[in-house]
Structure 1
């Protein structure tokens, strides 16, 4: 994959993405206004000066898409959240 390109491969949630999502779970709850458990389902990546993770998560009885950034020093931050998604919605670059 070229620098800046978003992977076309959708990866199933693994321990790495669970750890990344766990690091920003309080921010996710704040943006969604929900305190339910956040369960990563699948994700795509984009290599920049670090990595953007585009993650589909299940929160209570709904789904959301997250954009999480991990910089070169491994610091993780929540960039944005798209709520109101379904299990069938494709993960989009945003």
Structure 2
């Protein structure tokens, strides 16, 4: 993968689920709702001055949300942050840059 380019789509790992869980409260605050189901399905990454994760999360039987999460470089000693999100997605919607 080139620096700055998006990786291939990969199945979510426990580490990616943990990352999604870390920004769940930020999403709920922005959306003014709570999510009972919050299961990471697939993800892609983009290496910048840190790493951006694009994560597809299932939030109901038929609804998905796409998260854009930034992880700063380790020496910055900062928590992951929710950069953006797209709601109303389906299982078949591709996970693309936004």
Give the TM-score, by structure 2 length: 0.87
Alignment match, 1:80: 84
Matched, 1:93 2:91: no
Secondary structure at 2:67 match in 1: strand
Q: Deviations over 1:32-71 (max 9, x none)?
A: 3331231111000000011000010111231110100001
Alignment match, 1:31: 30
Give structure 1 stretches of 5+ with no counterpart: none
Distance 1:75 1:46 in 2: 17
Aligned length: 93
Structure ranking higher in strand proportion: 1
- CA RMSD, Structure 1 to Structure 2 (Å): 1.3
Secondary structure at 1:2 match in 2: coil
Secondary structure at 2:33 match in 1: coil
Give the TM-score, by structure 1 length: 0.91
Runs of 4 or more consecutive aligned structure 1 residues displaced over 3 Å after TM superposition: none
